[in-house]
């Protein structure tokens, strides 16, 4: 493709602002009925506290969460028999006695307790309003303002509720107004499924819930928590009664909700939640609603508005969101894909902010005492998928809680490495929790997988590659080094003596045809370790340290078992060609395809034979699986350059079976990773980057013939805008954050670009 024009901005010239608000309110979820089920309610959060808003006119429910309210307390789950049992387990695997190896692992290696601690719920704020004739109902979630609003008319009076989660003041704000003075009346109370909880009033205007986290797996719950709701009314009366706080004949009312726990870190739960929530409310109550809203928007919008996306408009935008989900597969609602992308970014901003916990299996939203899969951190795909849209979506700050968790895991993981394996460094298996447990859990068929921590290291490396920040590299290098050292100490020769492999391990979470998932050297492990070793080597070279370690890693990396192509032309999931013998060929996990995405082992142009084998594996597995697994397939097809196939999978993902009415991802049940994986896949259609190359429109589907995206981030410190028309690139704009070089690619056209810090380059294709 010939270049029509290329424009280099002069130094110091102001770049066009990225992420300006789109015309109209396109980033909007709306409904014409209240939520009856939790999966219909609208999510709000500020990274620490969260609410699900149902929008009921008479019996309103705000379900509340706090990110550190978990069961249990600090514990060491390493099985004391594990270290002595490992050599025998390895021998059994090498002899092909996989069932016997699994039996031994279950008896002597799996953690004690076998499970981990669960994320829990604060409870509900319940608001009871007078009954009456309700009409003109509408509820909505505006992603641009991160505000849920409910409008309705009751007995001739127009009522409005607004709810937002203010991060600077760390409170949830609920505002009630009406178009007739003296019309607001309700009773506020609280309840929870948690045990050992008391609810009381304090003074005339405050509800107080006190409780603690539950016991789990024999580990006593030690986290204490408190939630407070302060009622501030203009006009009317506010009284404390046995049932709660009553408001009568008020002109307007503001509720301030604060919650905190005693959690300080994974080794310390000795904080004072009462002091914290009192301090929060004392500060917030001195500010007007306008000031609280202004602080909220000044904090939130600079993050959300960094990226704007326009994929085209249609009349489908006039429909309620639940109807759009039902009809998206009809193919006439391109804007819904843009809304879904921005919803993913919204959820990440809400569930992962500096100072809070990383997004867990349900982000930060959970109504249950013991949610599915304990809503913990499943690191054989799900936690990592939560962060796939973070870097390209210009939300680097949201990765900070993940990095902080990995730093914690180097401490607990070092204990597991030492006590279980007799090794240096640190290790985490397929799950962790608030207490940073790192031993293998659940059972041999799921938990005997040692490369979870190594996969997390890829996100740390991404943080450096996207930022180019040497301070980031210096921070993460000891973490990468420790993970690499663990595998230097624990890799084993395979039965042939030719390759170095992990043993025992599994390919998550699929059993091979020899009776047990336990095996040696599954393809995914080898791909992850090739990435880990390569990134550790490059980090050490850049920092000018550890020449001996670099040499050892280079030699060891060369002996890792390679990718193999099997008899059906597929990429083998194991060292042996077992893929076509497994009982479930359409299994949700596609672990062995990590090397294409998000890993670095396989590329469409660099390793075309392996890419073709990935394609064959995807065809065998099929397009539809659980929500998150469908999202992974979407991302993989974008990296095979097949936008049309990817869009067909997106239509599956955005269907009632895999997307709930409130746009939460359905495993089913709810898991938030599918939202994040789907958002990442949409971005990967428009732009993909490597340290030395940015590819524009690598997988544009025919269903999106025109559009534009502003503010995406690419590796090596660049910000990218893209515009296209009639399926063809019109212009790509590149802004340098740090100064540096890259290569732009669109189809067969390439352009090398070097920019100083702050310079802009426009690649005009007309």
Q: How many CB atoms lie within 10 A of CB 705?
A: 15
Helix 400-416 and helix 470-490, axial crossing angle in degrees, nearest 10: 30
Strands 740-746 and 693-696: parallel
Backbone region of residue 311 per phi and psi (left: phi > 0; alpha: psi in -120 to 50; beta: other values): alpha
- What's the sign of the alpha-carbon dihedral 344, 359, 38, 675? positive
pLDDT tens figures, 66-77: 999 999 999 999
Helix (H/G/I), strand (E/B), else coil: 501: strand
Query: How many CB atoms are located within 10 Å of the residue 252 CB?
Result: 18
Task: Note the pLDDT of residue 652.
Answer: 97
Question: DSSP characters for 532-597?
Answer: HHHHHHHHHHHHT--HHHHHHHHHHHHTBPPP-B-TTSPBPSSSSS-GGGSS-TT-S--GGGTTTT
> Cα–Cα distance between 756 and 741 in angstroms, integer?
9
Residue 682 and residue 631 in contact, taking contact as beta carbons nearer than 8 Å? no
Q: Is the pLDDT assigned to residue 16 strictly greater than 80?
A: no
Beta bridge partners of residue 643, listed in sequence order = none
Residue 22, pLDDT above cutoff 70:
no
Question: At residue 9, does pLDDT exceed 90?
Answer: no
Sign of CA dihedral 672, 359, 277, 261: positive
Domains and CATH numbers, the chain: 31-71+120-305 (2.70.98.50), 86-112+377-600 (1.50.10.10)
Q: What is the pTM of this model?
A: 0.96
Confidence of residue 21 (pLDDT cuts 50, 70, 90): very low
pLDDT at position 12 over 60: no
CA angle 382, 387, 390 (to 5 degrees): 160
Q: Which of 524, 529, 523, 447 is nearest to 487 (CA)?
A: 529
Query: Would you call 476 helix, strand, or coil by DSSP?
Result: helix
CA angle 597, 603, 608 (to 5 degrees): 135
Integer Cα distance of 708 and 20 in angstroms: 12
Q: Is the pLDDT confidence value at 467 over 60?
A: yes
pLDDT tens digits for 163-196? 999 999 999 999 999 999 999 999 999 999 999 9
As a whole number, the mean pLDDT across the chain is 95
Contact 736, 726 (CB under 8 A): no
- Mean local confidence (pLDDT), 549-553: 98
Give 584 or 144, the one with higher predicted confidence.
144
CA dist 711 and 369 (Å) reads 40
Residue 24's pLDDT band (boundaries 50, 70, 90)? low
- Quote the percentage of the chain above a pLDDT of 70: 97
């Amino acid at each position: 493709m010939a270049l029509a024009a290329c424009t280099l901005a002069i130094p110091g010239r102001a770049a066009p602002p990225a992420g300006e608000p789109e015309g109209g309110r396109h980033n909007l979820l709306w409904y014409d009925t209240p939520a009856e089920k939790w999966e219909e309610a609208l999510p709000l959060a500020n990274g620490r506290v969260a609410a699900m808003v149902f929008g009921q006119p008479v019996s309103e429910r705000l379900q509340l969460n706090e990110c550190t309210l978990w069961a249990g307390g600090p514990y060491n789950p390493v099985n004391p028999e594990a270290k002595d049992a490992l050599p025998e387990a390895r021998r059994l695997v090498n002899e092909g006695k996989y069932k016997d190896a699994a039996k031994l692992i279950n008896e002597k290696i799996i953690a004690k307790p076998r499970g981990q601690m669960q994320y829990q719920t604060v409870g509900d704020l319940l608001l009871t309003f007078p009954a009456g004739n309700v009409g003109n109902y509408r509820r909505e979630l505006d992603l641009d303002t991160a505000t849920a609003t409910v409008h309705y008319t009751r007995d001739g009076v127009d009522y409005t509720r607004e709810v937002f989660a203010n991060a600077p003041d760390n409170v949830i704000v609920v505002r009630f107004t009406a178009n007739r003075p003296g019309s607001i009346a309700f009773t506020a109370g609280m309840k929870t499924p948690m045990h050992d909880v008391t609810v009381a009033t304090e003074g005339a205007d405050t509800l107080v819930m006190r409780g603690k986290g539950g016991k789990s797996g024999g580990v006593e719950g030690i986290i204490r928590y408190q939630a407070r709701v302060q009622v501030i009314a203009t006009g009317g009366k506010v009284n404390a009664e046995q049932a709660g706080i009553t408001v009568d004949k008020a002109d307007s009312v503001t509720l301030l909700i604060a919650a905190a726990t005693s959690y300080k870190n994974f080794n310390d739960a000795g904080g004072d939640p009462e002091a914290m929530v009192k301090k929060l409310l004392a500060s917030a109550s001195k500010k007007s609603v306008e000031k609280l809203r202004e602080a909220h928007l000044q904090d939130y919008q600079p993050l959300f508005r960094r990226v704007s996306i326009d994929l085209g408009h249609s009349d489908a935008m006039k429909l309620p969101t639940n109807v759009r989900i039902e009809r998206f597969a009809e193919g006439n609602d391109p804007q819904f894909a843009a809304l879904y992308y921005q919803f993913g970014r919204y959820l990440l901003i809400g569930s992962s902010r500096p100072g809070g916990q990383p997004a867990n299996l349900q982000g930060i939203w959970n109504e249950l005492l013991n949610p599915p899969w304990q809503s913990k951190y499943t690191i054989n795909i799900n936690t990592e998928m939560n962060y796939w849209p973070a870097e390209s979506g210009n939300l680097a700050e949201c990765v900070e809680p993940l990095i902080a968790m990995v730093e914690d895991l180097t401490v607990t993981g070092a204990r597991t490495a030492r006590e279980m394996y007799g090794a240096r460094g640190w290790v985490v298996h397929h799950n962790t929790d608030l207490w940073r447990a790192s031993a293998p859990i659940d059972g041999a068929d799921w938990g005997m997988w040692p490369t979870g921590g190594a996969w997390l290291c890829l996100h740390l490396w991404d943080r450096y590659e996207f930022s180019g920040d040497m301070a980031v590299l210096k921070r993460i290098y000891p973490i990468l080094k420790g993970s690499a050292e663990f595998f230097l100490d624990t890799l084993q020769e395979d039965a042939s003596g030719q390759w170095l492999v992990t043993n025992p391990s599994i390919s998550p979470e699929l059993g091979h045809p020899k009776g047990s998932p336990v095996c040696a050297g599954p393809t995914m492990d080898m791909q992850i370790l090739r990435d880990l070793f390569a990134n550790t080597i490059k980090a050490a070279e850049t920092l000018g340290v550890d020449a001996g370690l670099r040499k050892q890693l280079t030699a060891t990396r060369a002996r890792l078992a390679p990718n193999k192509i099997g008899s059906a032309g597929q990429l083998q999931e194991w060292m042996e060609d077992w893929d076509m013998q497994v009982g479930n060929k359409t299994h949700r996990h596609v672990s062995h395809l990590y090397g294409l995405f998000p890993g670095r082992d396989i590329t469409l142009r660099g390793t075309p034979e392996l890419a073709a084998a990935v394609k064959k594996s995807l065809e065998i597995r099929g397009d539809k699986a659980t929500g998150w697994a469908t999202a992974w397939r979407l991302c993989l097809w974008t990296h095979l350059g097949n936008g049309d196939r990817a869009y067909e999978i997106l239509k599956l993902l955005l269907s009632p079976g895999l997307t709930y009415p409130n746009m939460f991802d359905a495993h089913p049940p709810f898991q938030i990773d599918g939202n994040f994986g789907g958002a990442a896949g949409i971005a990967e259609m428009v732009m993909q980057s490597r340290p030395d190359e940015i590819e524009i429109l690598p997988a544009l589907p025919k269903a999106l013939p025109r559009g534009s995206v502003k503010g995406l981030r690419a590796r090596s410190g660049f910000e990218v805008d893209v515009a296209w028309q009639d399926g063809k690139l019109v212009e790509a704009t590149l802004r340098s954050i740090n100064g540096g070089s890259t290569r732009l690619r669109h189809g067969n056209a390439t352009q090398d670009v070097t920019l100083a810090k702050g310079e802009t380059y426009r690649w005009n294709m007309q």
